[in-house]
Chain A
């Protein structure tokens, strides 16, 4: 470090010194960084248990230095339910993608929210199945091409994309639901605040907390990271508006 300067930001120690496998520009890695920062700042490493899904983030346990359980595809909410019931004083987070949370796992997602299980969902919604090579997701936009919707998603046969934040907000058991994004530095900062608020509400025992991150997938959207961020803003956000959908009554 040069003399006369002070370090004001460095990579959080809770992020293991491993090069993450995510594609350049992927929001998964941004969110991983934020979770690691929060676990450190809130002194929660000894008290956090993460549940990771099947999908691109299946290796989350190699990146964030907390205890993890690897769930079967779609079942993270069931594992998180049980972990929080067994260890109620721990911070439990269920980190999932759109296939995991909104397709194969939707029953577990809905019922955990309805029962008000006191853990935090971190839902990375990039409207596509990344790890398996770019198939249509329940959140793929109308007209969006994927390997299983090569002519564009047709609502007549595939239905319209699912709006999970709106859906889960209807349950009394959900204490806090916010939709955010990490497409620019201001939004990354907002995402961190939202996740922090979710963790705090979890600690107060008020119910399920749900953070949906409107995300990108440069590889399967077949564009550069820069263009993917533009598409998040211009195509994703109009259908998935950012904002707080549910908050605790004070």
Chain B
């Protein structure tokens, strides 16, 4: 049994990062995730990592790039407008194939927006966001416990695949306080012989770069990246299912909305509707196969996707379902949390 604490989501993420062996944190304050920077600033003198409050999110992601290329476990955290600033850096890191963890505690947008929670950055997170054909592994925690667990997992997956991993949280999960069992500190970190740390006589020089000026080389690089992404898709899908054994109406939601949808499922069941919830834990790789399986299942009558945006994940649900069953969407924008009753009402209406 590990340490049990009562913490904010943002703080749990920060504490877990230290325990995961993070050696460099480079970040910039932005609501609703400044607690991460603040927590780490308080902890820095007592623990074994370096914190730099960078001059901007642009500087933050590039410091992460440098630290990652130097072989360190490294992380930055931000919220939506800051994540937009980081897109160039993320694209470079993905192409250079070095590991790092980034967390986006999503707030309402677009633009300067609101500081209230939202899920409006789904497209940016899973479809790229930055330029070029790349993918990030994207984890979507829905509790303070998962903020801690997913952070540990993120560092592990980043090192395993030499890929950036994004923790796609939201302002609600970042701010709520819940009981969390903190993970055991990581003891052994993997070796990184590819890192630029100083050329020793036993090897050629290491160059961390995303520049492939000859098209033939750029194509080969992209082919290698795509092969890696297929491998991740085959091996790293994570999903949680709730009351799905005999479900006829499949709810789809992630993050804070998934907690609301658990209540929707319970309320629906009380009314005699066989509802269940499929919650992607990884929004990339998306649980396409599982959805396809459900689309083929005669029991399943429809899918209802609930999000806090104008309809983003629902497009991936539609792709997976491929026209076999109806897919409906309900959403609130602007940082407003939908109520279970309004989602249930919407669902019942679609059933008529």
Contacts and interface: CB of A to CB of B under 8 A. Distances in A.
Partners in one complex: yes
Interface of A: 45-49, 51, 58, 61, 65-72, 75, 78-83, 85-87, 90, 107-108, 110-111, 115
Interface string B56-99: 10111011111101111010000000000000110010001000
Which A-B residue pairs are the 9 nearest by beta carbons? A79-B66, A82-B66, A70-B209, A78-B62, A67-B196, A75-B62, A82-B63, A82-B67, A111-B55
B89 A87 contact: no
B67 A68 contact: no
B24 A86 contact: yes
Nearest to A50: B196
Contacts, number: 127
A111 B26 CA distance: 14
Contacts of A82: 24, 26, 52, 62-67, 70, 74
A61 B198 contact: no
Give the most central of B66, B72, B207: most A CB within 10 Å. Answer: B66
Given A67-B205, A72-B62, A83-B67, 8 more contacts: A49-B198, A66-B198, A69-B65, A70-B207, A70-B208, A72-B65, A75-B65, A79-B66
B55 A107 contact: yes
B199 interface: yes
B199 A67 contact: yes
A66 B199 contact: yes
Given A79-B65, A83-B70, A47 B207 contact: no
Interface string B193-209: 00011111100011111
A115 B326 CA distance: 57
A46 B200 contact: yes
B69 A83 contact: yes
B28 to A, nearest CB: 11
Interface in B207-229: 207-211
Interface in B310-332: none
Given A66-B199, A67-B196, A86-B24, A72 B88 contact: yes
B71 to A, nearest CB: 8
A67 B207 contact: yes
26 contacts: A46-B201, A49-B70, A49-B196, A58-B211, A67-B197, A67-B206, A68-B207, A68-B209, A69-B65, A70-B207, A70-B211, A75-B59, A75-B89, A78-B66, A79-B66, A80-B66, A82-B24, A82-B63, A82-B64, A83-B69, A85-B24, A86-B23, A86-B67, A87-B70, A108-B55, A110-B55
B65 A86 contact: no
Contacts of B54: 78, 111
B199 A45 contact: yes
Contact of B52 (A58, A66, A68, A85): A85
A79 B70 CA distance: 9
Contacts of A85: 24, 50, 52, 67
B52 to A, nearest CB: 6
A90 B56 CA distance: 26
Interface of B: 23-24, 26, 50, 52, 54-56, 58-60, 62-67, 69-72, 74, 88-89, 92, 96, 196-201, 205-211
A70 B23 contact: no
A54 to B, nearest CB: 9
Given A85-B52, A86-B70, A79 B209 contact: no
Contacts of A79: 62-63, 65-66, 69
A95 to B, nearest CB: 14
A77 B211 CA distance: 19
Contacts of A86: 23-24, 50, 66-67, 70-72, 74
Contacts of B52: 81-82, 85, 115
A46 B198 contact: yes
A69 to B, nearest CB: 4
A80 B96 CA distance: 17
Contact of A107 (B56, B64, B74, B210): B56
Nearest to B209: A70
A72 B199 contact: no
Given A70-B210, A72-B92, A47 B198 contact: yes
A90 B197 contact: yes
Contacts of B200: 46
A108 B59 CA distance: 7
Nearest to B56: A107
A49 B69 CA distance: 10
Nearest to B92: A72
Contacts of B71: 86
Contacts of B66: 51, 69, 71, 78-83, 86
Nearest to A94: B66
A46 B199 CA distance: 5
Give the most central of A80, A86, A90: most B CB within 10 Å. Answer: A86
A75 B59 CA distance: 7
Contacts of B207: 61, 67-70
B211 A65 contact: no
Give the most central of A65, A79, A90, A111: most B CB within 10 Å. Answer: A79
